[in-house]
Structure 1
């Protein structure tokens, strides 16, 4: 087909929202003819919507340079804002800032141009991501003042989203969520350009997820599913990115085995450029594999997340703890908690810190982290945080020897989890309730709780929680029991390391923990305790 015919077909496909056909026709035309600036811009946007992020950036930047050379300042400014959004989605804040500044310079002579609103939207998000929370609020206020002079539902959606995101770091949760909910109205009505609407969907759903507000997350995820059916979206990468956000919701309720494959397929599509979402996806894949008991698969997914710049915590720390390396797990998680500047992200790490502290027998440390979680739940007034806080407090009370006091708190946590169908967490609470009922002499209730936990784990395709093992004598972890059993059978530290596939240094740390928990000072005394309590090597 001649280049001119390819261009006609490409333009028609682009107008219809058939990004695949537009991309292919533009690509063939570009091999034999130089594309116009408009065609080059459309080619870049078609590439973006198909998930070819790096190619899209190259084409969009070339289109921008042409627009500047042609002295088409207003269109160049809007293109710069588009490219800034692309780099923001790509996870590079430094280059995003370069494009924000380019757009700002171009708009100095046209401060009332609508492109300024898109620029302020990106700038506000970028400030919040960089931890410049006051600047994020200031950009959102500037956007609000700009939009107030116009009757534009699309710009209003951008304004409300920026406002909501800028308020969350200051724990103005109810105001922030009201803004974000209101921002979705123009998006649902199709009054926001597709790329910016996709960003709003992702931002709103992501914040619902971070706050543990699964009911609100479900509302907007269902709305997003309908949005994805539209002709401009169905064939784009937004559908795939939405799958990853949807998976985060479904992981609370659905079969892990099915969701694992869906996530693997989704990640294969977006890894070209969408670093933040891809990192999140690999982390979630690792965490689901951890819960399934796929140790090697979890390690591989966590390693991939780290490779592309996403720190795989707390899941990786929990994996280490369940494998018996609880000291390293605690150290890694505490370093991250201490370094985390975003308060919501820090609060999200605390439930795992509590679980690991209890697995180590450090009840005081668990209680300290639990108080921090309770304070965060009160401050942010988040239903998810409140459920986690009740769950943690109940577990700590069980370990403090107050099972009767723990039971009503655990039952409240169970009710909260049930209202959002957080089934994995429900199973964990049932485990703690089983231990509490056992301690109060209510054996039948304990057995019922244990059966409920096992049933949920089986339905999810998950393994029972290992970090706090009710069966282990002496408060030992599963790995400490394995180490002690081998020591009692006469194995040296080197023998234990070989049999358990861990280092001799790790064996030494486990022995030190065992001595403390059993209140003994020698291998001989520990071995004697093991024989008395029938701690024997497993087959």
Structure 2
């Protein structure tokens, strides 16, 4: 980045308007891939000013391409569509395979928010032909790969994502590709595929390495920390997940829905629902909102709000059909099956959950498969099929074990305490102060006090000493809370 910006300064100082404009567009692309839209726009404006001095269709094509991707990222979908149409006019004049590839990519990406999924991926597949023929400059070819992989991730289309990743790996081994930048940024999304073959600990280490290689780009690193928090949440590493989600926020990335699911697992379902609802209300992109809905269903069910879960599930089903996404359809069947179980409609739930399991199996989403097996176990238990329920529960446990994932706790918490209250009580039993607990749990000292007051009420005690004594008597073991 520093070298690119230095090159721009030298070209600009030398009054090489054309060279400086081209370099400005390249720097804008780099900043866009780094996730910093503010600086990206600065470089786009610099390139535009230089282009206005010395118009050139090639530079204009690159400018329109980057500008259209920025508009999509900002949910300015109509603007992105107009930019893609302008790019089509320019590339028609240029009649060059490399620019045609950029135009097809921009057209495809800008179609997706309008639910023109089949047309969009036809355009994106068309963009691949000049890339495979080595007719696209390396930086721009890398961006085409990243743009398509990102959209596959957003739509949870893992089979298509796998195909593009395999093509990208072949491309990266070519003689012209010397930088590892594109492999690094895409490594975050590659975690979607690693669950098929690797343990969560292996995926976690790959993510840690990828984040370390990203440098200080806030947007890209923020996405990495979100994924890292989710992996740690699934492992049962609550402290590690909280820290990763905190780092995501520090890198300007909202860590939802992972953070809300973590709070729900820790017994803070109402707070989790509030956090997620605020995020959903603020979301302007229909695809991104759809991605939040499975968590909304799960949290609503954890709160006993079955009607609310049903409404979210219906919205998820509509989104799956609207965007014609195989991944969204699997999520929708999973959600519908869980809602039917909670409604006591066990016979209806079984075929729906089996369909979800089949869909997850086709993409080897093992963690989700384990979750479905748990719901199948409950459904079979409801129908009186005890043997089937035990078999499904065993399948779930086996998958969790293979992944190295934490298995949900079936037993009720002692004293009716939430998971977070148990954490606080364990810390109290270890002799930790409210201040120490706040730091260790990443919550305020005031929040620790509120949890402690709730603990007193539930346990029928009136002092810290009595609460600690109760914890020892009931084997509430302190974990990492050293006095």
TM-score range, shorter chain: 0.7 to 0.9
SS of equivalent to 2:279: helix
1:210 matched to 2:150? The reply is no
* Counterpart position of 1:228: 172
Q: Quick one: which of 295, 308, 320 aligns to 1:352?
A: 295
Q: TM-score, normalised by structure 1?
A: 0.77
Q: Quick one: which of 92, 101, 113 aligns to 1:157?
A: 101
CA distance in 2, matches of 1:437, 1:80: 62
1:505 matched to 2:450? The reply is yes
Q: Go from structure 1 to structure 2 and tell me whether the alpha carbon gap of 1:222 and 1:508 turns closer, same or farther (over 3 Å shift).
A: farther
CA distance in 2, matches of 1:280, 1:232: 28
CA distance in 1, matches of 2:266, 2:188: 28
* Counterpart position of 1:81: 25
Pairs within 5 Å for 1:474-493: 479=419
Q: Go from structure 1 to structure 2 and tell me whether the alpha carbon gap of 1:291 and 1:511 turns closer, same or farther (over 3 Å shift).
A: farther
Deviations 1:291-320 (CA, angstroms, capped at 9, x unpaired) = 011111111111111111111111111111
1:239 matched to 2:179? The reply is no
* Counterpart position of 1:490: none
User: Does the 8 Å contact 1:80/1:100 carry over to 2?
Assistant: yes
Q: CA deviation at 1:523?
A: 7.2
1:138 matched to 2:82? The reply is yes
User: Does the 8 Å contact 1:325/1:506 carry over to 2?
Assistant: no
- Higher mean C-alpha displacement, 432-441 vs 64-73: 64-73
- Unmatched 5+ stretches in structure 2: 427-433, 442-446, 462-472, 477-483
Deviations 1:361-390 (CA, angstroms, capped at 9, x unpaired) = 111111111111111111111101111011
Q: Go from structure 1 to structure 2 and tell me whether the alpha carbon gap of 1:481 and 1:106 turns closer, same or farther (over 3 Å shift).
A: closer
Q: CA deviation at 1:245?
A: 2.8
Pairs within 5 Å for 1:389-468: 389-465=332-408
Q: Quick one: which of 299, 313, 331 aligns to 1:388?
A: 331
Q: Go from structure 1 to structure 2 and tell me whether the alpha carbon gap of 1:510 and 1:210 turns closer, same or farther (over 3 Å shift).
A: farther
User: Does the 8 Å contact 1:437/1:443 carry over to 2?
Assistant: yes
* Counterpart position of 1:123: 67
User: Does the 8 Å contact 1:428/1:465 carry over to 2?
Assistant: no
Q: CA deviation at 1:402?
A: 0.8
Q: CA deviation at 1:112?
A: 4.1
Deviations 1:139-188 (CA, angstroms, capped at 9, x unpaired) = 10111111112331111111011111111111111111111121122222
* Counterpart position of 1:13: none
CA distance in 2, matches of 1:411, 1:481: 36
* Counterpart position of 1:63: 7
- Higher mean C-alpha displacement, 389-398 vs 226-235: 226-235
CA distance in 2, matches of 1:507, 1:207: 45
1:379 matched to 2:322? The reply is yes
* Counterpart position of 2:429: none
* Counterpart position of 2:467: none
SS of equivalent to 2:93: coil
User: Does the 8 Å contact 1:252/1:424 carry over to 2?
Assistant: no
CA distance in 2, matches of 1:509, 1:166: 50
* Counterpart position of 1:182: 126
SS of equivalent to 2:331: helix
**What's the RMSD between the two structures over aligned residues?**
2.8
- Unmatched 5+ stretches in structure 1: 1-52, 487-493, 515-521, 525-535
User: Does the 8 Å contact 1:431/1:453 carry over to 2?
Assistant: yes
User: Does the 8 Å contact 1:78/1:103 carry over to 2?
Assistant: yes
Q: TM-score, normalised by structure 2?
A: 0.86
Q: Go from structure 1 to structure 2 and tell me whether the alpha carbon gap of 1:481 and 1:92 turns closer, same or farther (over 3 Å shift).
A: closer
CA distance in 2, matches of 1:111, 1:153: 21
User: Does the 8 Å contact 2:195/2:364 carry over to 1?
Assistant: no
CA distance in 2, matches of 1:113, 1:348: 38
Larger Rg: 1
- What is the count of residue pairs matched by the alignment? 448
CA distance in 2, matches of 1:85, 1:153: 20
